[in-house]
Amino acid sequence: MELRKILCVSLGTHSAEVADHLRAAAWDVLPAADLAAARRIQAHQQVPVGVLLLRDFTPGRLDSVEEFLRLSHRVEWVGVFDVEALNSQVLRELVLNYFFDYHTQPLDWRVLDLTLGHAFRRAQLRGQGEAYLQAAGSMGMVGHSAAIARLQQQIRKVAATDAPVLIGGESGSGKELAARAIHQCSRRAAGPFVAVDCGAIAPSLIHSELFGHERGSFTGATAGKQGLIEAASGGTIFLDEITDLPLELQTNLLRFLQEHTIHRVGSTRSLQVDAHVIAASHVDPAEAVAAGRFREDLFYRLNVLPIVVPPLRERMSDVPMLAQHFLQRCMADKHRRVEGFSRQAMAAMMFHGWRGNVRELCNRVQRAMVMTDQRLITSADLGLAEASGPVGIGLDAVRTMAERNAITLTLDRAGRNVTHAARDLGISRMTLYRLMDKHGLAPRAE
């Protein structure tokens, strides 16, 4: 049977008896004689459960213990104290705010075993929830719709190979975000990610920008320069709007894809470059081929692993979460505080067509942060017309968003203290934890 890890921290008292009992109960005990040792253990190992034996209740000691517990919020802590110690108001607050449960001396070993078992199971539930959120958010993509889940699944698959990837999708849908996710999920994640907008570089400079040049190769080339493809060696080169690449450079790019070598402008020697190529375009490359603007052989060389980023209108259930994400990001850059979106604003967003996709949503939220004079952003602040007719499925999203806003606001006012926030909301801590899991909210390390 795999041993369960437990951190046993002893402050001002001996823990040998407790540690021996835990080992006999099939725990992998990691002993720490002080908080510094406990921090070193946590820096190298993930520990789900901890036992804190505390006897010294001086103000300085409790302040350091509180700081330690605040930064160890992912651990389910069980305290062991002398019964008289609970006369201290400071300790009682510490227990209420940071501990899963507590026991007093002398210990009832059977009850302690039950408590630690419950704490371990709770830690497992918390870990599963955090793993889910990490999996959903590790690609930088916000949302839980079926469309975004399919895209994430495709990204994981194509990231396992170095074959060229061609990303399609409308303007503003998040093609560069998908490219970055492929890079981060690949074995090249530690290498550079170089993004190039092929339509934003002057035609006279694009050859030098992509492939580099040697000193004296043209007027003004006073020094040699490394190209962007060469700079991406060991990582990923992302060629956005690939169909805007001039035809003469498409030949050079095709040679690089086939031979993994490049020639700097003015050089006669080839350079070996190991870079994964990801290309994207909001224009259908097949149509560009038919129009004579894109080489057919380059299209087939790039189109080995095609994926398409869905437009926002195909993942409307993600709009509330995306809107809240952009709102939180905007508030982090400003000194003012906005509590969320009004019911009418959310309904308007759910009925908007979003021709500009996620980029348009982000821009409208930024606009609203500047324009609003109220606690809740209105549809007028967003520059959207109010939804007309039955709200239907939009109101479900509105209710969900309102619930999330209320929980977020209360947690912030309570300093992310779950006990105090639950009391202010008039619900139990367990109910609040369940709602936090539902909305993807977790206690933050301060």
CATH number at residue 107: 3.40.50.2300
The angle formed by the CA atoms of residues 400, 406 and 412, to the nearest 5 degrees, is 135
Do 321 and 305 fall into the same domain? no
* pLDDT the model gives residue 239: 93
Instruction: Report the sign of the C-alpha dihedral through residues 44, 46, 51, 57, in that order.
Output: positive
> Considering the domain boundaries, does residue 85 fall inside one?
yes
Confidence of residue 332 (pLDDT cuts 50, 70, 90): low
pLDDT for residue 121 is more than 90: no
pLDDT for residue 431 is more than 90: no
Question: Rounded to 5 degrees, what are φ and ψ at 287?
Answer: -70, -35
* pLDDT the model gives residue 56: 67
Task: Look at 117-126, 145-154, 431-440 and tell me which has the smallest mean pLDDT.
Answer: 431-440
- Is there a contact between 79 and 99 (Cβ–Cβ < 8 Å)? yes
Q: How many domains does the chain have?
A: 3
pLDDT for residue 391 is more than 50: no
Q: Is the backbone of residue 440 left (phi > 0), alpha (psi -120 to 50) or beta? A: left
For range 274-291, the mean pLDDT: 92
- Is there a contact between 289 and 247 (Cβ–Cβ < 8 Å)? no
> Considering the domain boundaries, does residue 120 fall inside one?
yes
> Considering the domain boundaries, does residue 140 fall inside one?
no
Q: How far is CA 27 from the centre of its chain?
A: 33
For range 38-50, the mean pLDDT: 88
Confidence of residue 115 (pLDDT cuts 50, 70, 90): very high
pLDDT for residue 97 is more than 90: no
> Considering the domain boundaries, does residue 228 fall inside one?
yes
pLDDT for residue 84 is more than 50: yes
For range 52-72, the mean pLDDT: 79
Place of tokens 């980029």: 359
How much of the chain, in percent, has pLDDT values that exceed 90? 34
Of 76, 101, 135, which residue sits at a domain end?
135
Do 187 and 281 fall into the same domain? yes
CATH number of the domain that residue 342 is part of: 1.10.8.60
pTM score: 0.58
Of 355 and 441, more confident: 355
For range 189-194, the mean pLDDT: 92
> Considering the domain boundaries, does residue 445 fall inside one?
no
Do 88 and 125 fall into the same domain? yes
pLDDT for residue 274 is more than 80: yes
* pLDDT the model gives residue 129: 44
Do 96 and 179 fall into the same domain? no
Instruction: Count other C-beta atoms under 10 Å from residue 224's C-beta.
Output: 15
> Considering the domain boundaries, does residue 326 fall inside one?
yes
pLDDT tens per residue across span 133-190:
444 445 778 887 888 888 989 999 999 999 999 999 999 999 999 999 999 989 998 8
pLDDT for residue 355 is more than 60: yes
Do 329 and 294 fall into the same domain? no
pLDDT for residue 335 is more than 70: no
pLDDT for residue 371 is more than 90: no
> Considering the domain boundaries, does residue 444 fall inside one?
no
Do 294 and 407 fall into the same domain? no
Do 12 and 91 fall into the same domain? yes
Could you tell me how many helices (H) and strands (E) the chain has, helices first? Answer: 19, 14
Do 40 and 158 fall into the same domain? no
For range 266-277, the mean pLDDT: 86
Which residue range forms the structural domain that includes residue 158? 146-310
Q: How far is CA 313 from the centre of its chain?
A: 23
Do 129 and 17 fall into the same domain? yes
Place of tokens 């080992």: 23
Q: Distance between CA 293 and CA 307 in Å, rounded?
A: 22
Q: Distance between CA 173 and CA 158 in Å, rounded?
A: 19
Of 261, 278, 310, which residue sits at a domain end?
310
Of 135 and 346, more confident: 346
Confidence of residue 126 (pLDDT cuts 50, 70, 90): low
Average pLDDT, the chain: 83
- Is there a contact between 343 and 382 (Cβ–Cβ < 8 Å)? no
* pLDDT the model gives residue 7: 92
pLDDT for residue 429 is more than 90: no
Question: Rounded to 5 degrees, what are φ and ψ at 300?
Answer: -70, -30
* pLDDT the model gives residue 416: 77
Question: Of 48-57, 234-243, 365-374, which has the strongest mean pLDDT?
Answer: 234-243
* pLDDT the model gives residue 441: 67
Q: Distance between CA 94 and CA 433 in Å, rounded?
A: 19
Do 121 and 224 fall into the same domain? no
Do 167 and 71 fall into the same domain? no
Do 154 and 260 fall into the same domain? yes
Instruction: Count other C-beta atoms under 10 Å from residue 26's C-beta.
Output: 10
Of 377 and 392, more confident: 377
Report strand pairing: 271-272 vs 261-262.
antiparallel
For range 215-219, the mean pLDDT: 73
> Considering the domain boundaries, does residue 141 fall inside one?
no
Of 261, 285, 310, which residue sits at a domain end?
310
